[in-house]
Structure 1
């Protein structure tokens, strides 16, 4: 199916957008939800084009790396509606452009769906017939200055890129860059042109989830800006096995020649090509490329003009060297011109060739090298920033400032105010990083009594630029997110940089709960994939007061409910059982989520052993303390061996069966993963392996091995399958896989508690909730209470056996409340004690001290996001992005 040519009579459109159906049943888009064929994509594009109507209208599209956003974009291009693409992660920029251009239609996400807000049936603007796309020239500051691109621009640039990259219909490109960024958009256009597939995701290359998705989908290419390659160095890209990778592209700013050479050599050794490219939004993304065979020997060069384009050098008085001047580009991809407001949307071509503002020289072998810049625009970490727009943005916030920068740093000089220089500097840095998408380390703020001026009264930008120096940036404010991460995770402040994420910093299960609650209080919202999101990308949704409505992650809710029900059942306040078995499944879920990363085998095993210690050691410490007060427990309890050597008939010996079972199961998991063959199998078959282990675990569950009655053997043997099912749930990457895990849970839990169908129903229902429902509607106070219970669950479980008997004879309900409060207080006291001892050696703090345990043992059940295919990779983030006993 294809958009009918008479949809808007007399209007041209982009051929590759309305010719999608020609590629038939080939895969067009791959997401965590599944595959979309070209035929299916064409049908959706056609339906949306018809929805947009027969009258040309200006469509503002809030950019996102999702199928819905892609469909709206292609539908508008195919039907001839001009598209204004805006950054979806900057609400202020979106609103600024809505105010400036008054679009006829606004397409945006809300409540998990994409909405078309049709503000009028007929456009309020005069729209030139050639106008196809409007892109910002200044990043995400909401500047009204836009680049006007034609249908021919988009088609010509896509064809040129596809030609020199030799894009094939078998290629699969991972979207490492956002849709609203011209470089990222050109990746989409050029691959759709050739009938190739897009692996549509909003994940960063710093996330293990991205690489799991990359391998699983057999992706062949990805694109990066210079900052992308900083992240690649940190995540060990050079040692990754990516058998289907065919080529890597780089643009968006200058990559140091030595790094170009290194990546080119790395690609040559691994069998993939490295393309370094040069472009600007005004040329629909790309103007030059460096042939990969020259990348090792000529890494300093921008290369040659792309097919169909050409360069010339305009002489400049200040540059007398031969073959040096301002680089000027001509080609069919050069923009129509700029738009400063809606009155310019009716203009035709006002630009014939593009004066890039870059100083270049032509070498004897015909290559071009960029040696400087004329414009005030700067590219920092691959982001093009207009300092003038940053100044205007700060002015809107009541800050008088001057701004300039280079390829590494944006420098802001602002006047002092009565609130104090230090607080102003941190506030200004937050405003700038939030508006521009830069990490704090790339923004230097200087608060001065007076702004530097020349004798003429004009700003002295040279003096401001000189303020940037290699000295460390000012210490972060107490409210800085990096400081919060360092506090919660007990990490040295210098280790917590904006590029790190919760998972990469070694965050584990109970610290996840505390961190999620604190982050939601700070941000006013909590992204579903925040645990794998770099700190620099966590931003408040806007300046508005946060809504009182909240969501509570299902894992937090279930953990809080489980410990609540366990204690209440033991005190006989009510009889809701099954919580401990749910916690075992959650333990498996978190084991997969936090420990089965792309780290090498020894590092994996080390982290799991630390996790086991954080379960066992605080338990042994509490049991040992109680043994000093009474004789309820034996040495077997202290050593967590009661289920093996404990005396039969003991009424108190089985109090800690759950702890013992969890420790044994984790040790068994470590033993398995210590085998190289199993480690390799887990990396290659992340979903199939835990299902296989669960099947093996069902042998003792159904008494198929001739073992003694399950009351006579350690409980870990008979409940191991629950842990493995939770592990498999975390690795489920599709609805089909989640359905298989759910059916397996239903089939195997039934009959596990003879004569107690209510307990079986509770375990099944909560497990299904964990697998299928990522979040629950909530309120701020509910989140706080749930967070306290979940975060303190280990200490509540450990202490309630000794606390409630002290009050039980007086009031069961009071005993219930006191047992919960005592456990919460004990957890809080332990946490505070640890934070008062910052001088303890890091090794002691990480491995053995009571404070370091802080109820944060790695594999104990934790917060859940939507089903994760690997290494904490949830479905949502891939698209922008659980003994039988008395418990």
Structure 2
């Protein structure tokens, strides 16, 4: 073992063995003395000139010996580590540079590569060289100069092999485009083992400039004291560095010697890049956005400072000596391709084991994995990351794009694919987990179960300040639970809501109405929830999943034993919502009456009242106005589009319908009084009502009025509807009881019934019902009575006693009622004369089938 400290005099270097060829070296490390007495290092212990630095480097090179050996160096922003690094490069010893602050990484790579020398500090802080082999245990290629990891502190054995020529060329190129000269002094704001931080050191040494060698963070006041005292001219940072600068009020600092600020190591949001560019213009320093990868030694592109404010979204142009080309990528247009870089700084290749250290060049150009385009002004722009694409549930997701999306909404986050899930770590204090899930799921089309979101006080980063994506995956994974989840709760309910509503943003704090649930999926949801949780409260649709689960977990009565228990297991006593019962019974009676099995009419008008009732419950939620209107248009589409598709087929294939039916305009431009021309009056009226109300609810004043007078607004609309009921303005069509202007009052009455909370309010609606329904259907007392009774039940009786099997059947019919109504006109005419009952069951079956088809299609098309 050999000790190396600044206080121990160095022995004279042995004469080189002239019988062997002198190894290749890095010129800027070998020629340090050429810069004479210029200040090379400013350290907490004092200054070191280039001549003094060269002497120490020469002495350490002698300690490493004349035989090329692999030197594992624990990187640190301290003089001893830098001297060892330069000594190895000047003498031709390949350096394996690792994070000095990660004991596990040092141990892992020491085991993987069996270095000949390990250079690192002792526990007391003194520098130490551990000489493990007098010669070398490896075959080292003559061009090999440096080994760097691309995976931070993970200890991965995959390393980048860089040559002496790579290091010299990149240092020269960076110094050229930044305009570094021997009067500059750069602070080591980034770790030495990180290629960006190392490139700052190399590019200043190659010009004889000074380095303010410090391990302090830019968030510390002492750092700025050192920087000012050293007359620092350059700062380098990754995006996280600029977060810290924002926090400490960098833009208000007095830094009279600052000349340039550089940024790389990840995408800085364009608006922030532009902000720093403008700040530099005001303060007298230049701001450079740069782009690079370890595989290109450090840098591949830079954005000229004079363009940083106006083109902050670009990475700029290739560095001097380098060039780009765009390789076409499937699924992208001709303007976008994978960015491929060529230049003298492209690595030799990768190493994954000691045997690879003998390899020469295996790579001629660098496929960056980034998707880019070349703008008309010649600047390159990164548009995505090809290699970070994750395939989740069959969808190709770009985590970088998700990070960009969240950043646009003010949510700093790191995202990573992890098998069949997208892991998202977000910064605390910006958005809750539910909001993040909702945003990402909506934009990416992922189900909520494929998202793992965790809000953290600090985002996980590597020592370099770059995102630690492995930590993102680890931190977002759920901890194993000692107790299995009870069936029908937690994830089961989330999946149930996701499945039925076709939404991807379901969380425990979601409710049926908050997710935009409507009457078309209400029935199925209520019945499925009842199966999972037992009896539901009347307001279950407004309760969160968390609340429903908590209720389900509450103690219940012990089930009865024996014959009674057996009967109960088959015939579970439940309740059935009155609205669902009326929809189920009503569609059967409507179809049966059309087939003429019986003559019980009036349910279509009852269903209009139920439609108003459900409109109030599911559309007029506490959501923001825009969300309300958006959900309302979504419901309109779910009614109108399947109806128009089916009716268009009927118009094309039969002679029974006027073309106006296909676009739901028969009620407005009827050309005749044929029975079938008016077959779809109910659908037309419902769509008209919803379209007009969507337009009205979009008006802020009307939206506020409805929220304030929840019962008064529908009552006023019902009064207005009575003008149409009695056709005081002469707007009714040839079939007045089927005219939208005549029947709107029933829709408004149902709306008011949903808002009625007192006996007085319900009594008022009942009185209106008793006074206004008579006379609507001339000489049809049964029909009149049926409408009054049905809507009376809706007003006064929220639920009816029922049993499990009846609920299941009623749920199926009620949820399919719209589609049964649509399709039965094309089914029963062919069977009603000879097989009336068959015609009834066939009509119901076809409608259920069409409902299933539409529901599945709607879940695939997310905006339906």
Question: What's the TM-score once normalised by structure 2's chain length?
Answer: 0.47
Ranked by relative contact order (alpha carbons within 8 Å, sequence separation 6 or more), the top structure is 1
- What TM-score comes out, normalization by structure 1 length? 0.45
